[in-house]
Structure 1
């Protein structure tokens, strides 16, 4: 079907490349067979703003500008990729950015937080308990703060993951399927990290709208499978309400693997770090221990178990996050 998209601001450099990972495919193949592994390089959407969040923010920023807003407010962890991307998008569009951050400033800013500050975003830090218990009130506080100073702020939820943000990965699914067709194959599986749920929701809905047979699986980096089942449905339900489209959320093929979360969000164990190093040395592909590294590690374990033995082509969507690698530098002592 032909999809009619809402207004967007062109921010990303699209299409992003689709490339085979043949050395990884060879190394991690099993006697049972398995797929050729491809990577959709959404880490290359646009240099410093690289990653999946930029696709979502094209539609979010388009809506903010259409509503006459001059300020963006969003939230996330201290090393949030989404907050970093929002900070840079705001700078590029000449908009103020207010970040509501979970955690505290500990020492010299590094990684994404350093980029937030370089981009001129205002940052407010909150203890995790207060952040989770009072997040709606914190958004209201900062919207009122800017309103009193003559500014109109547009609130963006965690990861820009809602019925507006998932347009980014509805469009990405259309692009990805066209890439695969141009390379002469139809993907049986599409895999991504899932942390706020919006990328998985967009890919899942996009494949359904386009009548693709590809099975989309989100490898959870936090929470649990039930949470992401509910979150994807909620995002699609919101999208359906915004677009007045009749989508039965119960027909969605929502697949979540929550077996490789490890100690928790932004926490990983040594095998994940070793997988990141292996992938970098084999393919020159940089992953991070919060999202993509953890998800790709999980994928490799499933390949070893033979979970994809009947699949010919599998696409891993690289959602970016390399800035989040550097604050974990002490976790790679085995490289010394």
Structure 2
């Protein structure tokens, strides 16, 4: 656990942690840089990924406040929404998911994460991208509707990314430091912990953990939507609320937040051929399967940056595999021409 800290909030232990950290030997040889993989895709089968680390704290807070239903939001194939629906069911809670799609009257096929949402008993409310841009208003509408039905709802933000959820990756950074010691990795020898950034909570938690533990690694996020400015502001907001809420004696400045921009590509959850090729190549090389929405884009960014400059991230990269396997199935038709 995090050292010298007494006010870690309650959590529900539903994730399979600690997750392994191991070196990708062939990829390291190919790139000329040490590449390690933090296997947060192994936090559970149906709960796979980074979201469940945040949900441990968010669902504990929901239960403590007497909630019987959680409301959250995401894209049609949202990993976060799938994990929320399944974790909520495990905790005896109902879930309402606000899912974004171009035409709510004709929603996407029931496959991948949508299939799992429905299997978990989630109530799906399809909304347009324009409505999603005003999702906080939609949250309040759903909140009021459920209250009128006599239920006690609890709102979980996009990606579980707030000061409460960030605790999941504060503790993950503690795991990573222990992993590094066990593998005899010197944290002061130019090591970067790199992850995909889609809502900011994972990167915020890793950065907070680095500060709280005084770990000599760099924390870098690759934005898979929006832009660098948006995520610097969002991560800073989460860190500021975290420090104020939990009275943590650290400071996080905007200059501490490092985002690698330029790899959103065709847009959120839209895959380019070169991104899918990178996913396919890694699966053949190392037997590691990434997802097209988050880890695939972040991985493509990492290898692209290293190919231009071997010292882009220092001597060593710890790539956080945040899961999302189920998101591959809806893009099977795009992948098969690569085989």
TM-score by length of 2: 0.94
Aligned residue runs from structure 1 range 136-285, under 5 A: 136-187=136-187, 188-250=191-253, 253-285=256-288
Instruction: State the Cα deviation string for residues 26-47 of structure 1 (Å, max 9, x = none).
Output: 1222xxxxx3100000000011
Further displaced range: 3-12 or 115-124: 3-12
Aligned residue runs from structure 1 range 4-23, under 5 A: 4=6, 5-23=8-26
Measure how far apart 1:85 and its partner are. Answer: 0.3
Aligned length in residues: 330
Which sections of structure 2, spanning at least 5 residues, go unmatched? none
Partners of 1:177 and 1:186 within 8 A in 2? no
Partners of 2:211 and 2:250 within 8 A in 1? no
Partners of 1:76 and 1:100 within 8 A in 2? yes
Instruction: State the Cα deviation string for residues 265-323 of structure 1 (Å, max 9, x = none).
Output: 11121111000000111111110111000100110011111242683321000001111
Q: What's the counterpart of residue 130 of structure 2? A: 129
**Aligned mates of 2:55, 2:136 — CA distance in 1:** 20
- The root-mean-square deviation of aligned C-alpha atoms, in Å, is 1.5
**Aligned mates of 1:116, 1:169 — CA distance in 2:** 24
Instruction: State the Cα deviation string for residues 245-283 of structure 1 (Å, max 9, x = none).
Output: 344332762110012111111112111100000011111
**Aligned mates of 1:310, 1:303 — CA distance in 2:** 8
**Aligned mates of 2:254, 2:231 — CA distance in 1:** 16
Partner secondary structure for residue 253 of structure 2: helix
**Aligned mates of 2:213, 2:90 — CA distance in 1:** 33
**Aligned mates of 2:61, 2:313 — CA distance in 1:** 43
Further displaced range: 245-254 or 38-47: 245-254
Partner secondary structure for residue 46 of structure 2: helix
TM-score by length of 1: 0.94
Partner secondary structure for residue 304 of structure 2: helix
Q: What's the counterpart of residue 3 of structure 1? A: 5
Which sections of structure 1, spanning at least 5 residues, go unmatched? 30-34
Partners of 1:204 and 1:252 within 8 A in 2? no
Task: Flag the 1:246–1:152 CA change in 2: closer, same or farther, 3 A.
Answer: same
**Aligned mates of 2:313, 2:197 — CA distance in 1:** 24
Measure how far apart 1:3 and its partner are. Answer: 2.9
